[in-house]
Amino acid sequence: MTPREIKQILVVGAGTMGHQIALAAALAGYRVKCADPSDQALKRAGNFVEVYLPQRLDQGKITPEAARRGRDNLEFTRDLEGAAGQADLVIESIPEVLDLKRQMFSRLDRLCPEHTILATNSSFIVSSRLADATGRPDRVCNMHFFNPPVYMKPVEVVKGPHVSEETALTLVEVCRKMGKIPFLLHKEVPGFLINRVLAATHREALFLYDLGVASIEDIDKAIQYGLGHTIPPFRQMDLIGLDLNLSIAMEHYRETGDPKLKPSPILVEKVARGELGRKTGKGFYDYAEMLAERGY
């Protein structure tokens, strides 16, 4: 079995994950369109590219030719229908809400060519819960990048029971071409590999804070220096996005009904205030200065 050739990629959703996945794919030589109905999201995505590429050039991380190729290969658009009609691979990166994703996959199934692979960047929702919304279940798969995708190497490709070998191998090959390190999971499991371990750490850190055992800063420092975590839990949650953390926690709690998995009060409070982490400039920590430097 050999991987299918991929030339055109559509990323659905121009949020932090979506536009960075799109840029990483464009830098790898793929022709990429990143679609979103929000003009504001598209503007923020374009601003990121215009700041990121010169920074990497100044740092000597990429060549002028690579930067030009990445910019030329990438287009941000509101025209989902037009972009979908040319895609060999779609990577969906919209909010972690099952109904929204099912609606999107059903729509993409109608818009995309018959051969197109439909991948979800979901960090929690397995593709078997999306596959029956399409007429191509063998080409519906998880392809989970880590935040920030332009820097982070791991990608989890999760082969559910409906996914063909060709689809899984194709996504693994795309990851490798993008310079990522793919992990192929042969079974679906909630949280996959990395987030399953992370979620347990995050829940315990939140529990300790909610109990008043220690401050956010001291819990983070203890885990960073005591356990050797480069990015400790509260910093990690800010990086992922507190809204995403809450969505995943709520989905898991609804599925299991386990009171131990009920979302933390401080997490709910932060999201209600719009303090979602790095992307909004404030979460458990303040990032206003960092966002200003990146053109946000």
Question: Which residues are known catalytic residues?
Answer: 123, 144, 156, 195
β-strand pairing of 8-12 with 181-185: unpaired
- Residues 6+ positions from 120 with CB-CB distance below 8 Å: 91, 92, 101, 105, 127, 130, 140, 141, 142, 143
| Cα 142 off chain centre by | 11
Transcribe 30-82 into DSSP letters: -EEEEE-S-HHHHHHHHHHHHHHHHHHHHTTSS-HHHHHHHHHHEEEES-HHH
Q: Residue 291 and residue 131: Cα distance in Å, rounded?
A: 37
As a whole number of angstroms, the distance between CA 83 and CA 112 comes to: 9
Please choose, from the candidates 72, 67, 68, 108, the residue with its C-alpha nearest in 3D space to the C-alpha of residue 89.
Answer: 108
Taking residue 109's Cβ as centre, other Cβ atoms within 10 Å add up to 20
143 neighbors 173 (Cβ within 8 angstroms): no
Contact 131, 92 (CB under 8 A): no
Q: Which residues pair with 8 in a beta bridge?
A: 31
